Structure 1
Amino acid sequence: MSSDSLVLDLSADLVPVRRRHMLREGGLIGALGAAELAIFLGLGAMRPDMGHMAMSPYLLWRVGSLAVLAGIACTVAIRSFSPTSRPRVGVMLACALAVVAMMGGAIVVPAGLSGRSLLERLAPASGIMCAGSIFVLSLPIVAMLGALMRRAAPTQPRLSALASGIAAGSVGAFVFAFCCPFNDPLYVVVWYSLGCAAVAGAARWRLPRRFRL
């Protein structure tokens, strides 16, 4: 059999693949995150003092930094699904941005925290629930990014999976930020980071399994 005949035989049953559109994929992720936030708030989970705290430097830091991080991380994840992408730089950028956001928390510490012990500020029982909530809220985003990843052709699926986990964790943390009643930046840095790290680790472990590495 000639090579031309072999190629024709192998390609005879192929069906056209819909071309990727990154803006559409980003819109899907944004719509899913917005739906999660609407459902979560519709269930009455918004912190009761949101009207009073909405313009406070602390809450603006928390919500604003998570919104920027989620937007950049989702862009990095979606771009990483392209076969010509090199996601390492994007992942490093997202991690660097997260570190800068954490450092920014040092300038918005509310008054009255200096006399509290480290254990009181961390509130481990509530913190574990916080990290767990972020993990659960991130799962739909992980699933959506995993589906988009399977439809694409990433050449570095491990890094794409890690980028997807960072993006999903950031979106989950952003949604939860409207409901979390704690005002201590140390609490946010520790427990939000733990929740996002768990999501990133789970995505990095699970998503690349459908790809030959």
Structure 2
Amino acid sequence: MQTEDLIRALASDARPVPRHAVECRVGIGLASGGIVTLAAIAAALGFRPDLGVAMQAFPFWMKWAYTLSLGIGAIAATLHLARPDAARAPWLWLLALPFGLLLAAAVSELIRTPVDGWQRLWLGHSWTRCSMLVASLSVPLFAGLLWAFRRLAPTRLRLAGAMAGLASGACSATLYGLHCPEASATFVLTWYTLGMVLATLSGALIGPRFLRW
């Protein structure tokens, strides 16, 4: 059989792929995982009782702006890396911008606070469990993304796994904010970020094993 004939034979049963098939599948995976994570927060942790009041204040939206911007950036990177022809993405450095902005807010916060109040800003009341909860609650979201990748064809497996982990961790941190009353920029910069880093590292380690096709 000639090469051209083989190609035509292999392509004869190919079906057209919907234009936004990747986005839809990743969206379904994230939404499914998000529902499980939200249900786990509601059942095991509960929502903060002053949530309605908190949502009217700047610190709540500062925290959400940080986690949501990281989540959106990581999801965009995940969508890019889900394709087999994904080239190097030089714009990934933009993911450092939310961290830099929150770092500036944390430094300003510390400057305005007497030194004897720094520990309270940094540790809050839940530093011992915050990072692990963010990382643990990201598992359903990461599982949803793994399900989505089963029908996709990533080739840069470790980076794709890391970005999927960051997307899961950032979405998890956003939902966890519905429970967590901590509002200090210093606290969020340290312990929320650590939880997202743990999710990212886990994705980088697990990704190559489960994303291989």
TM bucket (normalised to shorter chain) is 0.7 to 0.9
Residues matched between the structures, number? 209
SS of 1:82's equivalent in the other structure is coil
Shift of 1:70: 1.2
Alignment of 1:53 with 2:51, yes or no, is no
What's the counterpart of residue 114 of structure 2?
114
Are residues 210 and 58 of structure 1, via their aligned partners in 2, closer, same or farther at CA, if it must alter by over 3 Å?
closer
What's the counterpart of residue 74 of structure 2?
73
SS of 2:86's equivalent in the other structure is coil
Are residues 195 and 208 of structure 1, via their aligned partners in 2, closer, same or farther at CA, if it must alter by over 3 Å?
same
Shift of 1:212: 6.3
Q: How does 1:1-213 map to 2 (within 5 A)?
A: 2=1, 21-32=21-32, 34-36=34-36, 38-40=38-40, 42-43=42-43, 45-106=46-107, 109=109, 113-114=113-114, 116-123=116-123, 126-210=126-210
Deviations 1:163-200 (A, max 9, x none): 11111110111111111121211111100111111110
Cα distance in 2 for partners of 1:55, 1:152 equals: 41
Cα distance in 2 for partners of 1:127, 1:87 equals: 36
Cα distance in 1 for partners of 2:133, 2:40 equals: 11
Cα distance in 1 for partners of 2:68, 2:212 equals: 33
Cα distance in 2 for partners of 1:171, 1:39 equals: 14
Contact 2:30/2:145 (8 A) holds in 1: no
Cα distance in 1 for partners of 2:72, 2:62 equals: 15
Name the TM-score, length of structure 1 as normaliser. 0.79
Q: CA RMSD in A?
A: 3.5
Q: Which runs of 5+ in 1 are unaligned?
A: none
Contact 1:76/1:87 (8 A) holds in 2: no
Name the TM-score, length of structure 2 as normaliser. 0.79
Are residues 87 and 150 of structure 1, via their aligned partners in 2, closer, same or farther at CA, if it must alter by over 3 Å?
farther
Structure 1 residue identity aligned to 2:160 = S
Cα distance in 2 for partners of 1:49, 1:62 equals: 16
Cα distance in 2 for partners of 1:150, 1:38 equals: 24
Q: Which runs of 5+ in 2 are unaligned?
A: none
Cα distance in 1 for partners of 2:35, 2:121 equals: 32
